[in-house]
Amino acid sequence: MFNDIGPLELVTLIILAVLVFGPDKLPKVIQDVSRTIRKIREFSESAKNDIREELGPEFKDFEFEDLNPKTFIRKQLDNEDLGLKEIRNGFDLKKEMAEVTDAVHAREADASSSSSAASSGGRIDMTKKPETPGRDDRPPFDADAT
């Protein structure tokens, strides 16, 4: 419960409690505090049980600790039902990229003339400048539109 309180802090709290409440009232205060903590725990457990009952049987394995994002992610990554390992192993990026490249080259080879495809071996020459349309191909200038 008090995992983050060190021994020096605990001794300080005890001394402070003795000074504030006095040695006569301290046992009664400790009993009252422990009774209050017990009631809070009982209330918390009954609230959890009520929530579980309201959620229904499909949430029978629901744990409130799973609401912590770190716990939820850790549990989901450990879960083998998702098949994440199979998805990662089944996806080969190099193979996919090669298939896309082949498909693109095949379309360009079909679209280009057979003489240009034969001369370049079906590859695109990136050193050539793209053909620019002639000056007559431009749409007419409309001064009113601008």
Please give the pLDDT value at position 105: 84
Please give the pLDDT value at position 136: 61
Please give the pLDDT value at position 111: 65
Please give the pLDDT value at position 31: 94
Place of tokens 């029978």: 60
Q: Are 21 and 29 in contact (CB under 8 A)?
A: yes
| Residue 71: CB atoms within 10 Å | 13
Q: Determine the Cα–Cα distance for residues 38 and 136; give it in Å rounded to an integer.
A: 90
Q: Determine the Cα–Cα distance for residues 88 and 77; give it in Å rounded to an integer.
A: 13
Please give the pLDDT value at position 8: 92
Please give the pLDDT value at position 49: 86
Q: Determine the Cα–Cα distance for residues 83 and 77; give it in Å rounded to an integer.
A: 10
Please give the pLDDT value at position 117: 44
Q: What is the mean pLDDT of each run of 10 residues along the chain (146 residues)?
A: 79 90 90 96 91 82 79 73 63 81 79 52 64 64 76
- Give the CA-trace dihedral at 9, 14, 16, 22, to 10 degrees: 180
